[in-house]
């Protein structure tokens, strides 16, 4: 295997996070009406392993989905256990991890007795209108096959590789797709992602608080003991700084942030090297300040574009048109990354 292929496999292994179905359900119920009549694509999801696929398979009729598609990349830890489904596979290749796709167009109504079976791919494939087939390529979301499937889709929902988050989102935007995906909080400060947030082409979903646990392979290395738990011989990894990113409309982004504090120069000092005041907590944004304010990046979770304007950010490592200073200081002390905002006209609190 070439060095680049070894590195690709190594990176893929680091991105093998399986989202818990409780976290998926907690977020997705907010968007029920937006899935009706739509083709949903989970393009980083082995149907035998992914809880995203299970969620949409179970809710297929309830949500009124038109079609559900999921694709599995080469090297999926489950892919090589299902090769008996592919009768044309030569015997000498039985150890190959085959990428595949599943397309669901009909799910029979079920009751509680059959709901558990609905999580079983073989159960779904008893219906001849549904199909599991091998992919010719490696199942990567950038492969020609997966791009063609993307073009068929209305909404993409998944947990994409964090190491490829910029490229993944760029593909969705280029193809003008609606999406609901998981990413790191730090992605907010990526210039490519921040640009989309500033231009109101991407925002955060609902469930962005608290610790999220992800299922990982048992040999996945986790250095911090407090971020590990093992239950029923399954390892889990906690990632507290994980957010839902979307361009599906939410009620949340239209809610006005209630402000209660008044501005004083003593409590809100200016930066040494940029003309803006420091607001160390989103909850303490002053109700009566008309100038530019630097707020924590978590502000994006409360951002209402009708109430505030995003000017840029501070503290990124290199100016890029949106990062207006590579480092920021107050009285010589370096401050963590900030988003620059300004109140829109006629948005004063009473």
The chain-wide mean pLDDT, for the chain, equals 82
Q: Tell me, what's the pLDDT at 72?
A: 87
- Within 13 Å, how many C-alpha atoms sit on residue 342's CB side? 9
Shared domain check, 244 and 264: no
Q: What is the domain extent for residue 311? A: 255-343
Q: Residue 349 domain-assigned?
A: no
Q: How many independent structural domains does the chain possess? A: 2
Q: Residue 196 domain-assigned?
A: yes
Task: Give yes or no for residue 120 having a pLDDT over 50.
Answer: yes
Shared domain check, 74 and 30: yes
Shared domain check, 267 and 237: no
Q: Residue 350 domain-assigned?
A: no
Task: Give yes or no for residue 325 having a pLDDT over 80.
Answer: no
Q: Residue 101 domain-assigned?
A: yes
Reported as a single tens digit per residue, the pLDDT across 128-185 is 999 999 999 999 999 999 999 999 999 999 989 888 999 999 999 999 999 999 988 8
Task: Give yes or no for residue 331 having a pLDDT over 60.
Answer: yes
Q: Calculate mean pLDDT across residues 203-231.
A: 69
Q: Tell me, what's the pLDDT at 279?
A: 97
Shared domain check, 329 and 233: no
| 20-24, 151-155, 187-191: segment of lowest average pLDDT | 20-24
Task: Give yes or no for residue 86 having a pLDDT over 70.
Answer: no
Q: Which of 219, 249, 279 is the last residue of a domain?
A: 249
Question: Between 295 and 84, whose confidence is greater?
Answer: 295
Shared domain check, 40 and 161: yes
Q: Which of 200, 226, 249 is the last residue of a domain?
A: 249
């Amino acid at each position: 295997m070439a060095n680049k292929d070894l590195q690709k496999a190594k990176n893929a292994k680091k991105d093998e996070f399986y989202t818990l179905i409780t976290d998926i359900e907690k977020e997705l119920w907010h968007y029920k009406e937006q899935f009706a009549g739509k083709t949903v694509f989970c393009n980083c999801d082995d149907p035998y392993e992914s809880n995203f696929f299970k969620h949409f398979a179970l809710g297929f009729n309830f949500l009124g989905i038109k079609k559900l598609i999921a694709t599995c990349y080469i090297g999926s830890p489950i892919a090589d256990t299902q090769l008996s489904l592919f009768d044309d596979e030569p015997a000498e290749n039985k150890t190959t991890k085959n990428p595949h796709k599943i397309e669901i167009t009909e799910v029979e109504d079920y009751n509680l007795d059959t709901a558990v079976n609905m999580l079983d791919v073989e159960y779904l494939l008893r219906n001849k209108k549904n199909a599991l087939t091998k992919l010719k390529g490696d199942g990567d979301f950038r492969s020609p096959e997966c791009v063609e499937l993307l073009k068929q889709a209305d909404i993409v929902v998944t947990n994409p590789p964090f190491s490829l988050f910029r490229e993944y989102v760029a593909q969705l935007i280029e193809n003008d797709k609606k999406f609901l995906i998981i990413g790191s909080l730090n992605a907010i400060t990526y210039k490519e992602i921040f640009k989309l947030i500033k231009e109101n082409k991407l925002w955060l979903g609902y469930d962005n608080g608290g610790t999220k646990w992800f299922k990982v392979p048992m040999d996945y290395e986790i250095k911090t003991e407090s971020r590990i738990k093992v239950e029923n011989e399954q390892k889990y990894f906690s990632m507290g700084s994980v957010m839902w990113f979307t361009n599906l409309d939410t009620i949340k982004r239209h809610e006005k942030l209630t402000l209660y504090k008044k501005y004083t120069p003593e409590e809100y000092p200016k930066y040494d090297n940029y003309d803006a005041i420091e607001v160390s907590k989103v909850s303490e944004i002053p109700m009566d300040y008309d100038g530019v304010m630097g707020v924590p990046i978590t502000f994006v979770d409360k951002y209402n574009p009708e109430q505030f304007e995003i000017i840029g950010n501070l503290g990124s490592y290199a100016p890029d048109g949106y990062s207006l200073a590579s480092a920021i200081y107050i009285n010589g002390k370096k401050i963590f990354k900030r988003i620059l905002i300004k109140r829109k006209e006629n948005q004063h609190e009473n």
